[in-house]
């Protein structure tokens, strides 16, 4: 599958993307995970991105496009990909359209996770993430807890709260989403690609995506 996952911070993009990779081996490409790994490794990209991320701002479009132009040409993308957290602005969506045309890649669909704000706020404050950059499994202390000793069930690394999970940064991320990312729904609606999902069940959403892919 070649799909884009849209949705506010905490809507469940990472959770759904990970479930979809188990379905047909398509690779999850999360720009957030790529940036967090770069911050942890202290690369130039990480140094440039860190302050934006900690505040809950988007990093510059040019930086994201540099990352994605290379990433989409890596061999594991040939089996399919799930774009999680990209594009996030109209300029990114326009650049992605040109890039996909250049690479002769057709998208199957664009999925929008439409989740109420109170659910999102609750999910974000109770999320925990595996600190191992090559795992980054997503947990939730209410709906999907890690091991009782606070370690990852998959790799045994400590699970943590992300640096952008302060109340101030969460509210700013939601505001940034409304201003800069929500307009992408109209963009992809006009392209005839948008599929909305408002279920609170990840299983129902994954089944709905599989059904839409078969049409």
Catalytic residue numbers? 13, 88, 127, 162, 173
* Distance (Å, whole) CA 152 – CA 158: 6
Give the residue with the Cβ less far from ligand AP5, 21 or 144: 144
Question: Which residue sits closest to ligand AP5, CB atoms considered?
Answer: 32
What is 128-175 written as a DSSP string?
EEES-TTT--EEETTTB---TTSB-TTT-PBEE--TT-SHHHHHHHHH
> Measured from the CB of residue 192, what is the shortest distance to ligand AP5 in angstroms?
23
Name the CA dihedral angle for 183, 185, 189, 192, rounded to a multiple of 10 degrees. 130
Give the residue with the Cβ less far from ligand AP5, 107 or 138: 138
> Measured from the CB of residue 170, what is the shortest distance to ligand AP5 in angstroms?
8
> Measured from the CB of residue 78, what is the shortest distance to ligand AP5 in angstroms?
22
Give the residue with the Cβ less far from ligand AP5, 24 or 114: 114
> Measured from the CB of residue 60, what is the shortest distance to ligand AP5 in angstroms?
7
Q: How many angstroms separate the Cα of 207 from the Cα of each of 8, 19, 102, 120, 195?
A: 21, 10, 31, 21, 13
Give the residue with the Cβ less far from ligand AP5, 1 or 139: 139
Q: Which of these, 147, 169, 167, 144, lies nearest to 158 by C-alpha position?
A: 147
List interacting residues with ligand AP5 (CB under 6 A): 7, 9-15, 30-32, 35, 52-53, 56-59, 64, 85-86, 88, 92, 123, 127, 138-140, 143-144, 164, 173, 200-202
Q: Are 119 and 8 in contact (CB under 8 A)?
A: no
Strand 27-30 versus strand 81-84 pairing type? parallel
Give the residue with the Cβ less far from ligand AP5, 166 or 215: 166
> Measured from the CB of residue 105, what is the shortest distance to ligand AP5 in angstroms?
18
Classify the phi-psi angles of 7: left when phi > 0, otherwise alpha if psi is within -120 to 50, otherwise beta.
Answer: left
């Amino acid at each position: 599958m070649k799909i884009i996952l849209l949705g506010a911070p905490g809507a469940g993009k990472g959770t759904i993307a990970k479930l979809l990779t188990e379905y047909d081996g398509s690779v999850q490409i999360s720009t957030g995970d790529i940036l967090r790994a770069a911050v942890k490794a202290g690369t130039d990209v990480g140094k440039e991105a860190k302050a934006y991320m900690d505040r809950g701002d988007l990093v510059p479009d040019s930086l994201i496009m540099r990352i994605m132009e290379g990433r989409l040409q890596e061999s594991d993308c040939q089996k399919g990909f799930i774009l999680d957290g990209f594009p996030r602005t109209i300029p990114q969506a326009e650049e992605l359209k040109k890039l996909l045309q250049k690479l002769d890649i057709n998208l199957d669909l664009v999925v929008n996770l439409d989740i109420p704000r109170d659910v999102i706020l609750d999910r974000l404050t109770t999320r925990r993430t595996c600190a191992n950059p090559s795992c980054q499994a997503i947990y939730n202390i209410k709906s999907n807890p890690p091991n009782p000793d606070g370690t990852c069930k998959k790799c045994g690394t400590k699970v943590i709260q992300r640096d952008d999970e302060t109340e101030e940064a969460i509210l700013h991320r939601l505001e940034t989403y409304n201003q800069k990312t929500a307009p992408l729904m109209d963009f992809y609606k006009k392209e005839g690609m948008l599929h909305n999902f408002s279920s609170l069940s990840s299983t129902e959403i994954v089944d709905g995506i599989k059904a839409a892919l078969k049409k």
